[in-house]
Amino acid sequence: MGCSAVELNERNQQATAQAEADIASTVESRLATQSADRPVLVSDAELDGDSLTLEWSYTRELSADESYRVLIAPDGFPLALLTTTQSTTTDISEYVESNPADAYNWQIEIVRLDDNDETAEQIANPSEVASFSVIGVESIDVTATLESIFAQATTDAETIDEQISATLTAVAEVTVEPEITADPESTAEVTSEADPPTIPTSAEVVVYGTVPIDSDSLNSITALAFDGDGNLLVSLRNGDLYRLLDNDGDNWADDVSLIFEDSEDDIGQVSGIFVEDDVLYIVSGEQLTQLIDDDNEGDYETITTLTDDLPDNQALLQANNSIIRDAGGRYFTADVNTGDILLILFGDD
């Protein structure tokens, strides 16, 4: 016969109750097993100063690769490893002498070591943490000790900070920033060691400006220089000088002006020019000539021959070539025929 609804409900309740009882029994049994598989601390809570030995027990003998780890610390400090042993006792006399305290905490672990005794694998539950005190041991104030340690560390840190600050201040007082000056005749940008100049890997040539030359008379451009305002000057072989201005900054000279015309042939074939302030020096054949812009309007009016002792021309070759000035104010030119580099010494008479 089939069961009624009431009977079926009663059977379900009985089955549920039995299942819950079985689960509870299993859990209790496992907890008991786990509780049993751990070391048990058997030392008294108070030890005699003449017999400082900790003792514990375990349910079985340890195998050759298993050991007990004894952890201990004064109350208030984290547990730390004291020793590893296969015995169920350990002497703590030296430890207590070095670490006197009101009370201590301790615990036992069971581990399996590898072949090199370097890696420990825990193979059972550790014991409970227990406390004990030692009769006749002068205790230390743990709180005061910790506060002293922290205070000393803080003082040390402040002292170090003060020393660093004083050192930086002293260094700053004796450190002189390097002064970077530029040659007034140079248009190159001054850079610091931290900003090295860029080395170009290619170049493009474009027309900046054009000056009129007479190719039929073998006239040609012979030298370039910059005046005191940074404007480009161009000399021709016949002694004429031009100034090129880029007024709108588009890299094209929109103003090409004749600033000196050697109509009286006072200069001759130019091979080098150099400008310092409003004074223009011209090398031409055996002659060194000085031009001065008296009215500061950009044209050169006064002509002075400084010397005519430079190397003479030889046939169509220009004997001397170029004129340059170094940072110390000395002027040099070159004898292209002999290879001599000539130093020009100026006089004031």
Count of residues in the chain: 349
Helix (H, G, I), strand (E, B) or coil at 119: coil
Q: CB of 107 within 8 A of CB of 128?
A: yes
What letter would DSSP give residue 146? H
What letter would DSSP give residue 99? S
Q: Could you read off the pLDDT of 7-22 as tens digits, one per residue?
A: 777 877 888 888 787 7
The residues that bridge with 130 in the sheet, in sequence order, are 106
Q: For tokens 């070391």, name the residue.
A: 39
In whole angstroms, what is the distance from residue 134 CA to residue 52 CA? Answer: 8
Task: Look up residue 264 and give its two tokens.
Answer: 């009286």
Q: Which amino acid is at 218?
A: L
With 0-12 / 13-18 / 19 or more C-beta atoms within 10 angstroms meaning exposed / middle / buried, residue 227 is buried
pTM (global) more than 0.75: no
Between 57 and 2, the more confident residue is 57
Q: Mean of the pLDDT values across residues 199-204?
A: 80
> Is residue 92 over pLDDT 80?
yes
The residues that bridge with 320 in the sheet, in sequence order, are 335
* Domains, the chain: 40-143 (2.60.40.10), 215-344 (2.120.10.30)
Give whole-number Cα distances, 16 to 8, 19, 283, 330, in Å. Answer: 12, 5, 121, 114
Q: Which amino acid is at 259?
A: I
pLDDT of residue 108: 93
> Is residue 58 over pLDDT 80?
yes
Q: Which of 47-51, 128-132, 301-305 has the highest mean pLDDT?
A: 128-132
Window from 56-70, 125-139, 188-202, 226-240 with minimum mean pLDDT: 188-202
